[in-house]
Amino acid sequence: MASFSSLGIGSGLDTATMLEQIKAGEQTRLKPYTLLQTSYKSKISAWGQISSSMSALQTSVKSLSNDAFNTLTVSSNKAFSATATTGANADSHEVTVEQLAMAHKIKTEGVDSADEAQGEANNGIRTVTITTGSGDSAKTTTVELKDDETSLNQIAKAINKQDGGVSASVQRTNDGYQLVLSSKSTGSDGKISVKVEGDDKLAGMMDTSNGGRPAEGPDNGDGMYLVTEAQDAKLKVDGSSYTRSSNNISDIISGVTLQLKAVSEDNKSEQLTMTRDTGAIKTSVKDFVEKYNALLKMTTAASKYVQNDTSGLKDDQVATQNGESGALMGDSTLRGMVSELRTAVNGTYGSSDADITSLADIGIKIDAATGQMTLDESKIDAAIADNPDGIADMFMGRGTNEGMAVKLGTIITKYVGDPETKTDGLIKTSTDSLDEQVKIMQTQLDKTQKLIDAQVERYRVQFSALDSTMSQLNSLQNQLTGILASL
């Protein structure tokens, strides 16, 4: 748009100021759209904060639905360690480790150089096949070697490149350089066998089908020597014997993984003890109170109503919403959400004859006006000590009786969705609608701004024409004045 600063020179009128005033007046047409867009953005921001707070509460509620009441303290033992998941139960077991699982390891006879070819010359291509395990679970690694690729270093490199069931290395020992093959799997599932085809010399050095030639004792026909025999783990749990290929065992005690570390001393059993961690209950309850109070504080601020100030308004003027009111004041979705949450936490759960059926029974008082919770720590400590199962039933439910945490979880998911199931909630529906309104307002603002710019430009052209006409008239007047003065 042309500058206003040159206007008025020809006419002597302050048309530049007049045009600025016209433009300012036209710009007021944007205000209703700007106010609406700002309102929509404020609501989106408020919902974003509430959604974040709701998600934090959702995490806390999920803990009260399971983990808080299934966290176990596991005893420390010499021959093994154990980890317990939520599927484990508070219990004790007698465990004896009779044998650890070990990975199969074999080696070649020593040679003078790790870089010297060990295969037959001018033999073309030979194939080395390494198998671990047997049957359907067997894993096979196959490498093809040329005549100039049969040194120990080259063989090890070729095997490792396949990333199969074994790892290969070359070690320098008192007996010379030796190729060592180590199974990546412990137990009989990782037992190694080697077969070389197309090179009798290399086959005599590497072929192994009996687990490796013993360092002492009769020759079993294998080309490679046994370093460590493939060995399964053996243990007893509560008097029953088990054999497993790994030292990490998770299919004997439900929800418990045993990590075997050593053979039990004198074949004596050790006691694995798992006790409920009552500290986790209190921690989770305190976290729940904190997250719930934070959410209620946020929703109260977002829905706050402050009366409009009508002082000084004329009869034909309308009061605008007070800026101190919450961005979501009067929002029906927010009102419904808060109502459902407060109803849920004030409810009773479990059987009618239970000792613990509500939050009040474990020391949580709820303010009737604000909805804020206050926790009496001495009372919850007593409840946890006396009846942790009753607290679990109140939050988690039992049988056909729905627990508070389950009820709250359903409500929270309704509004914020659940990332685990990839479901959206009502809050996203609301913010998506508000986002669309923001875009509509922006389109309207852009369209109106173009109309304003066009209107101001028309006035500028008209004022410019007025300047030109007035300049010509002034010039004509000056000429006539000069002619008349000369007569």
Residue 421's pLDDT band (boundaries 50, 70, 90)? confident
Residue 150's pLDDT band (boundaries 50, 70, 90)? very high
Task: Please report whether residue 46 resides in a domain.
Answer: yes
pLDDT higher than threshold 80 for residue 159? yes
pLDDT of residue 322: 59
pLDDT higher than threshold 60 for residue 9? no
Task: Please report whether residue 10 resides in a domain.
Answer: yes
pLDDT of residue 309: 60
Instruction: Tell which wins on pLDDT, 291 or 70.
Output: 291
pLDDT of residue 270: 95
Do 76 and 170 belong to one domain?
Answer: no
Average pLDDT, the chain: 89
Do 271 and 284 belong to one domain?
Answer: no
pLDDT of residue 3: 46
pLDDT of residue 315: 59
182: containing domain: 103-228
Distances in Å between the Cα of 21 and the Cα atoms of 3, 24, 197, 457, 474 are 14, 5, 98, 13, 26
Residue 136's pLDDT band (boundaries 50, 70, 90)? confident
Where is mean pLDDT largest: 3-7, 71-75, 198-202, 310-314? 198-202
Task: Please report whether residue 318 resides in a domain.
Answer: no
pLDDT of residue 251: 95
Do 346 and 434 belong to one domain?
Answer: yes
pLDDT, tens digit, 9 for 90 and up, residues 215-238: 887 889 999 999 999 999 999 999
Q: Are 233 and 100 in contact (CB under 8 A)?
A: yes
pLDDT, tens digit, 9 for 90 and up, residues 428-464: 999 999 999 999 989 988 998 899 888 888 888 887 7
pLDDT, tens digit, 9 for 90 and up, residues 327-385: 888 889 999 999 999 999 999 998 878 899 999 999 999 999 999 999 999 999 999 99
pLDDT of residue 2: 44
Task: Please report whether residue 486 resides in a domain.
Answer: no
Q: For residues 349-379, b (16+ Cβ closer than 10 Å) or e, as one string?
A: bbeeebebbbbebbbbebeeeebebebeeee
Residues 6+ apart with CB under 8 A from 6: 16
pLDDT of residue 99: 96
How many residues in total does the chain contain?
487
Task: Please report whether residue 8 resides in a domain.
Answer: yes
pLDDT higher than threshold 80 for residue 15? no
* Mean pLDDT value of segment 231-253: 96
Task: Please report whether residue 23 resides in a domain.
Answer: yes
Do 3 and 61 belong to one domain?
Answer: yes
Do 118 and 245 belong to one domain?
Answer: no
pLDDT of residue 401: 86
* Mean pLDDT value of segment 65-74: 83
Q: Tokens 């109140």 — which residue?
A: 394
pLDDT, tens digit, 9 for 90 and up, residues 27-65: 888 888 888 888 889 899 999 999 999 999 999 999 998
- The number of distinct structural domains making up the chain is 3
Task: Please report whether residue 487 resides in a domain.
Answer: no
Do 238 and 298 belong to one domain?
Answer: no
Instruction: Tell which wins on pLDDT, 306 or 409.
Output: 409
* Mean pLDDT value of segment 59-73: 86
Do 76 and 131 belong to one domain?
Answer: no
Do 436 and 422 belong to one domain?
Answer: yes
Do 394 and 421 belong to one domain?
Answer: yes
pLDDT higher than threshold 80 for residue 87? no
pLDDT of residue 314: 61
Q: List the structure tokens of 424.
A: 């959206």
Residues 6+ apart with CB under 8 A from 118: 111, 150, 151, 152, 155, 201, 202, 205
Instruction: Tell which wins on pLDDT, 31 or 14.
Output: 31
Do 381 and 451 belong to one domain?
Answer: yes
Instruction: Tell which wins on pLDDT, 358 or 306.
Output: 358
pLDDT higher than threshold 80 for residue 321? no
Residue 310's pLDDT band (boundaries 50, 70, 90)? low
Task: Please report whether residue 319 resides in a domain.
Answer: no
Do 286 and 419 belong to one domain?
Answer: yes
Do 466 and 413 belong to one domain?
Answer: yes
Among 122-136, 203-217, 282-296, 453-467, the range scoring the smallest mean pLDDT is 453-467
Q: Are 65 and 418 in contact (CB under 8 A)?
A: no
Last residue of a domain, one of 193, 228, 263: 228
The Cα–Cα gap between 146 and 154 comes to: 10
